[in-house]
């Protein structure tokens, strides 16, 4: 892996990682709402909310196609099955960590730890959103029932909720850290964001998520990584 271009003066070590995570969570749950109350970030928030609402409305029209054509996506689904995709996502920071230690490259190790922090930060928000939304997964909607009334319907663990996509959140949080840290190498952002997009889309073709789920998951992962984990400290 080529030498990274640090995106931030922030440096995380194994010892400081728990503290960095707690600091990020405080900012996410306390500072961000306070900034909204003072009139900040409203334009992007309204834009994302409007796009999400539009996608939720269109989900019921898009999902019948994916349900009736599920067999056409066999190669994509085999490549990015649920457990396989999770392993592929985890392999990115793990490979960076191993490479950094083998080459005694502190920047690469730092990138791996920042990616881990970004994943953990976004995962907490994602689980809270799942617990609130309790959205029924597309695979749990039997034919010929349509895909309406899926919110506040899923029982059991928050992890069973469809909204937002955990795979998309994880993929884009890690991809954003790597893309920003290695942005001087043009192929890196294309590679990591391309992989994150393919993983996210495969969740729709597998009937594990709706398009709105992966959109919100991707936005969540990107936002937490870009504007919390990678912001200047």
Q: Following DSSP, what letter does each residue of 86-144 receive, concatenated?
A: HHHHHHHHHHHHHHHHHHT-HHHHHHHHHHHHHHHHHHHHHHHHHHHH-PPPGGGS-TT
Q: Which pLDDT score is estimated for 8?
A: 47
Q: Which pLDDT score is estimated for 82?
A: 83
pTM comes to: 0.91
Q: Which residue from 224, 225, 199 is spatially nearest to 214, judged by alpha carbons?
A: 199
**Token pair for 182:** 């290695």
Q: Which pLDDT score is estimated for 169?
A: 97
210, 204 Cβ separation under 8 angstroms: yes
Q: Which pLDDT score is estimated for 208?
A: 93
26-40 confidence digits (pLDDT tens): 999 998 888 887 788
Q: What is the dihedral of CA 64, 67, 71, 72, to 10 degrees?
A: 30
Q: Which pLDDT score is estimated for 233?
A: 66
Q: Which pLDDT score is estimated for 5?
A: 54
CATH architecture, domain 29-229 = Up-down Bundle (1.20)
Low-confidence ranges of the chain (pLDDT < 70): 1-9, 154-155, 233
């Amino acid at each position: 892996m080529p030498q990274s271009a640090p995106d931030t003066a922030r440096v995380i070590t194994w010892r400081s990682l728990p503290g960095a995570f707690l600091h990020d969570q405080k900012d996410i749950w306390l500072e961000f709402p306070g900034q909204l109350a003072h009139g900040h970030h409203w334009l992007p928030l309204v834009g994302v909310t409007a796009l999400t609402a539009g996608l939720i409305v269109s989900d019921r029209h898009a999902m019948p196609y994916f349900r009736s054509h599920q067999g056409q996506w066999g190669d994509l689904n085999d490549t990015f099955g649920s457990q396989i995709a999770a392993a592929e996502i985890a392999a990115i920071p793990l490979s960076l960590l191993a490479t950094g230690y083998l080459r005694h490259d502190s920047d690469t190790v730092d990138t791996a730890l920042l990616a881990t922090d970004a994943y953990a930060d976004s995962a907490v928000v994602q689980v809270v959103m799942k617990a609130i939304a309790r959205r029924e997964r597309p695979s749990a909607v039997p034919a010929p029932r349509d895909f309406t009334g899926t919110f506040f319907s899923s029982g059991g663990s928050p992890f069973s909720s469809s909204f937002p996509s955990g795979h998309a959140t994880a993929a884009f949080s890690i991809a954003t850290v790597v893309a920003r840290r290695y942005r001087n190498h043009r192929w890196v952002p294309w590679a990591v964001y391309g992989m994150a997009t393919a993983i996210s889309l495969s969740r729709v073709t597998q009937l594990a998520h709706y398009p709105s789920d992966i959109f919100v998951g991707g936005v969540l992962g990107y936002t937490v990584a870009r504007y919390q984990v990678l912001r200047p400290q």
